[in-house]
Amino acid sequence: MQLLKHLPPDEFSRRLSQGEIPLRIGPYVYNLQSNLSGVAAGIRTLYPDFTLAGPDDFVDYNVALLSRNALQRLRGEAEFLFDMKAPFDAIPIGQAYAFLEWGMNWCVSLHTNEYLKLHAAVVSRGDCAVIMPGTPGAGKSTLCAALGLRGWRILSDEHAMIPPNTTDVVPLCRPVGLKNESIEVIRRFSPDAVLGPVSKETHKGVVAHMKADLHPASHDTKPLRAKVMIFPRYARDEPQQLSPRRRSDSFILAAYHSFNYSLLCETGFEAMKTLIENIDCYDLVYHDLDWAIGAMDGLPDVQGEQ
């Protein structure tokens, strides 16, 4: 088993430029390519402990972030490519690393419909997985990053992938995306946070990603059973509280946060029904990360799960 960090720098640069960096990420293999120094630095910083797939392994996603010609280089632009086709417009090179991560998320969002997929962070304590759906700005990624820095395992910052008719969650551990004020919040929260390149003036503002594979089991691909769903919401001026949420309301909101609930039709309904009927649901309003982590540590389903 060869980890990315075992590649000498010259070999890494050569292989990345040629599209020969196949990384095992959860159940998938992403083959990465780039000729941009900022993207190379981000991958070296955030993925060093990921395993390289072998030459005969199936590649699920061929992705690239390239400045492909002299005109793009003159304009300071680059493109995200999927199977060497550009599904999006060119972007400024300074935003390239953030766009690589977004593009890797897009691959899973658009495909992999063998799962019910929720737009949610997923963390675990022992064998107890906690699903945290959230709209942009709700604070799910900030809370996810903080939990990872306090000993929880991060299964995903973006996708809860649930095999239909189960309460299992398939791990897909990749860097946690942080935006704007959240970047400094996490820097202050822990000196152990490892952050990649900072991308400015994106459509989401300032973006940086945090290394997420901080737990000894981070690269274990075995599904974990979800026992809790929490809908987090950052609110600076409201009382902090963790309160039970009705399953019927949770069903509706979780369906809203799903990438493919409607696409799966009856299968999606039955999959969501099975999930919601077998987990406890909560609302979490917080403005202090230590308080939020303490509240989650105290949940009955994670008590004793180490």
**Average pLDDT of the segment spanning 34-52:** 97
d(CA 276, CA 294): 24
Query: Does position 46 have pLDDT exceeding 70, yes or no?
Result: yes
% of the chain surpassing 90 pLDDT: 91
| Confidence at residue 256, expressed as pLDDT on a 0 to 100 scale | 94
Poorest-pLDDT segment among 34-38, 69-73, 194-198: 69-73
Query: Does position 182 have pLDDT exceeding 80, yes or no?
Result: yes
Q: How far is CA 111 from the centre of its chain?
A: 16
Query: Does position 222 have pLDDT exceeding 60, yes or no?
Result: yes
Please report, for the chain, the start and end positions of each structural domain, with discontinuous segments joined by +.
4-110, 116-297
Kindly indicate whether the domain formed by 116-297 is annotated with CATH number 3.30.70: no
**Average pLDDT of the segment spanning 105-116:** 94
CB within 8 Å of 87: residues ≥ 6 apart: 80, 106
What are the residues facing 225 on neighbouring strands?
Answer: 128, 168
**Average pLDDT of the segment spanning 97-102:** 96
What are the residues facing 296 on neighbouring strands?
Answer: none
Mean confidence (pLDDT) of the chain: 95
**Average pLDDT of the segment spanning 207-233:** 97
| Confidence at residue 97, expressed as pLDDT on a 0 to 100 scale | 97
Selection from 108, 74, 70, 67 nearest residue 90 by Cα: 67
The answer to whether the CB of 107 falls within 8 A of the CB of 63 is yes
| Confidence at residue 136, expressed as pLDDT on a 0 to 100 scale | 79
Q: Apex CA 53: angle with CA 49 and CA 59, to 5°? A: 125
Length of the chain equals: 306
d(CA 306, CA 296): 13
d(CA 159, CA 209): 16
What is the rounded radius of gyration, in angstroms, for the C-alpha atoms of the chain?
19
- Backbone dihedral angles phi then psi of residue 52, each to the nearest 5 degrees: -85, 130
pLDDT tens across 117-176, in order? 999 999 999 899 999 998 878 899 999 999 999 999 999 999 999 999 999 999 999 999
Query: Does position 280 have pLDDT exceeding 70, yes or no?
Result: yes
| Confidence at residue 303, expressed as pLDDT on a 0 to 100 scale | 63
Q: Which amino acid is at 202?
A: T
The answer to whether the CB of 112 falls within 8 A of the CB of 118 is no
- Backbone dihedral angles phi then psi of residue 45, each to the nearest 5 degrees: -80, -40
**Average pLDDT of the segment spanning 261-288:** 96
